[in-house]
């Protein structure tokens, strides 16, 4: 039986959200994760929460990924630094949404700077971070099902 923050659920959620955000920005065409309406209620909820987050905090958050001056050699370190800072006060659902928005923004910046191979790597880092640093909190907070409630 899968745990609330298990790899298949987390991996699919990350892929859907990043694909959705890249499509919104016009970076991805054709079939793939994030295309069309999300059938999974969790994916729908994360997309909606991400859209709301971006609307509310557009000014504050909009250029963060660009300001990091990410290169292939520095991307993972920057990703981890920002993620650690984001959760410094402890995890909550709002910070989790911010984490997803940040990861997708970093992917978009990678495409924008012609570093497309980083997109898959950033998604892997997101999954690993969720599974190693946030899974216990997600589980103790009711799992992903609680996020959709």
Query: In the chain, what are the domain boundaries?
Result: 7-25+41-144
Integer Cα distance of 16 and 33 in angstroms: 5
Q: Provide, rounded to the nearest whole percent, the portion of the chain with pLDDT above 70.
A: 85
Q: Looking at per-residue confidence, does 46 or 63 come out higher?
A: 46
Residue 62 has pLDDT above 70, yes or no: no
- What's the mean per-residue pLDDT of the chain? 87
Residue 39 has pLDDT above 90, yes or no: no
What angle in degrees, to the nearest 10, is found between the helix axes of 41-56 and 7-24? 50
Find the mean pLDDT for residues 65-84. 89
Predicted local confidence at residue 38, as pLDDT: 66
Predicted local confidence at residue 34, as pLDDT: 59
3-class SS string, 5-70: CCHHHHHHHHHHHHHHHHHHCCCCCCCCCCCCCCCCHHHHHHHHHHHHHHHHCHHHHCCHHHHCCC
Q: Provide, rounded to the nearest whole percent, the portion of the chain with pLDDT above 90.
A: 68
Predicted local confidence at residue 37, as pLDDT: 67
Q: What's the topology of domain 7-25+41-144?
A: Apoptosis Regulator Bcl-x (1.10.437)
């Amino acid at each position: 039986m899968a745990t609330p923050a298990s790899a298949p659920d987390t991996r699919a959620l990350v892929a859907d959200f990043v694909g959705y955000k890249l499509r919104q920005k016009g970076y991805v065409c054709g079939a793939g994760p994030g295309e069309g309406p999300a059938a999974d209620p969790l994916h729908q909820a994360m997309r909606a929460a991400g859209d709301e987050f971006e609307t509310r905090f557009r000014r504050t958050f909009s250029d963060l990924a660009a300001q990091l001056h990410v290169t292939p050699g520095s991307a993972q370190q920057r990703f981890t630094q920002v993620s650690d800072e984001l959760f410094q006060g402890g995890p909550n659902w709002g910070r989790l949404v911010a984490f997803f928005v940040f990861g997708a923004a970093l992917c978009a910046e990678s495409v924008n700077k012609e570093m497309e191979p980083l997109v898959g790597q950033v998604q892997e880092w997101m999954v690993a971070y969720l599974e190693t640093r946030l899974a216990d909190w997600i589980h103790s907070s009711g799992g992903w099902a609680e996020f959709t409630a």
